[in-house]
Amino acid sequence: MTAPASRRPALIALGVLTTINLLNYLDRYLVPPLVPELERALGISHAQSGWLWPAFMVVYMIAAPVFGAWGDRGSRTRPIALWSIATVLSGLARSYPQLFASRALVGIGEAAYAAIAPALLADYFRASIRGRVYAVLNMALPVGAALGYVLGGLIGHHSGWRAAFFLCGAPGMLLAAAVLALPDPPRGAQDAPASAPSRSDHEGSGGISAAVTVYRSLLGRAPYLLLVLGFAAYTFGLGGLGFWMPTFLQEVRGLSPDAATSGFGGIVIVTGFLGTAAGGWLGDYCLKRSPQGYLWFSAVTTLAAAPVALLALTSPAPRIYFPAIVVAQLLCFLSTGPINAAIANMVSPFERASAMALSIFAIHLLGDVPSPPLIGHLAVTGSLARAVLMVPVALAIGGVIWLFAARADGRVSQPVPA
């Protein structure tokens, strides 16, 4: 059954942007399964390996606010089309500094996409179904990440780490141009008139001072600030778990490299796909019951994930820790679509890209930039088994903060443009 003609541009845009997102996350998660090979080939330590993730994230989060300001004022398809060949360049690295630099360069193209794509999709789809829309968009996250684990692990173990970067980086160079053909709908096209100010109110308001004004306004709103802080704690836990779990399964649980990377990758694919999809629909259902439904739902599911993650990381028995990993991952992924939809619905259409960009900056600055090297440092000074216990603590903190965000948002009836 074909989609109505009026919906086809929206569905095409969602398909293109979702595919790009998949390739983004495949690229990000190539490194973790390659850590043992990279350490042997380049003579680097656990602590140095832990900094490869922040190398990407620092550039990514710094560039995001720049593209967020651009995305609220100019073309949104052109900056999304920016792409990097840094994944392929990573395969050419001859030293740790070269590999570090190539991973850092990946962040520029992905920053444009991450800041602007959700704001663009919000103008294709109405507010009441954005949980599902962002769920579809973010189903690429676990699938891409898992493919990074699986393909990175399999190609790296059998053909070398350079081949993994070459083979997995090439498709992204072909897809980037497709986004240029997408229409760029008017900002606020799918929002109620009360929450969508006229273009004349924002047209011509550019420059650094205008961007700073928007970001300062966002930081002054308690619901948005609490949402982002909770998101940062959640991301701290997931970032640390995602980076170190293959190594944890090898060094602490004694699994083979193939079993650790393929096994965890398979879990991420299944739980990520099912959890993200189900979370989008369940979040939209909760939104019908409460304007803060996305936040309440994300808080409860994340709080439930914390004790299960603790069980997964402390039990030595495979019959316990493997099912616990599955359940914890499933619960974590349930909030992926709803929490992004909560950001989109909380702000004006003319500051949506900036809100997404500021969220990106904060959750990585406080989340998955520090967590891998911090866990790596604690593993060197103590043990990896104890270091990863930071993960369930971070998840619990994130869930509690989101409860406060939901309560604070209940006092705000409409988004307030800067």
- Kindly give, in sequence order, each residue whose CB lies less than 8 Å from that of residue 183, ignoring residues fewer than 6 positions away: 9, 13
Among 304, 280, 307, 308, residue whose Cα is nearest residue 294? 280
pLDDT at 78 over 90: no
| Token pair 């709908």 in the structure block, residue | 185
Distance, first Cα to last Cα, the chain: 43
> pLDDT tens digits for 211-258?
899 999 999 999 999 999 999 999 999 989 888 888 899 889 888 888
User: What's the Cα-to-Cα distance from 413 to each of 71, 222, 345, rounded to whole Å?
Assistant: 25, 13, 11
The predicted structure's pLDDT at residue 403: 96
The pLDDT tens digits of the residues spanning 284-309 come to: 999 999 999 999 999 999 999 999 99
The region of weakest confidence among 34-43, 194-203, 254-263, 331-340 is: 194-203
State the Cα–Cα distance between residues 353 and 112, nearest whole angstrom: 10
Find the angle CA(179)-CA(113)-CA(278) to the nearest 5 degrees: 95
Band of the pLDDT at 417, cuts 50, 70, 90? Answer: very low
Which pLDDT score is estimated for 86? 65
HEC sequence for 16-52: HHHHHHHHHHHHHCCHHHHHHHHHHHHCCCHHHHHCH
Mean pLDDT of the chain: 86
Task: Work out the average pLDDT over 18-37.
Answer: 85
Amino acid letter for position 255: L
Residue 44 gets the label, from left (phi > 0), alpha (psi -120 to 50) or beta, of beta
Over residues 366-407, the pLDDT tens digits come to 998 889 889 999 998 888 999 999 999 999 999 999 999 999
pLDDT at 49 over 90: no
Over its C-alpha atoms, the chain yields an Rg (Å, rounded) of 20
| Distance from C-alpha of 24 to C-alpha of 130, rounded to nearest angstrom | 21
What number of H helices and E strands is found in the chain? Answer: 19, 0
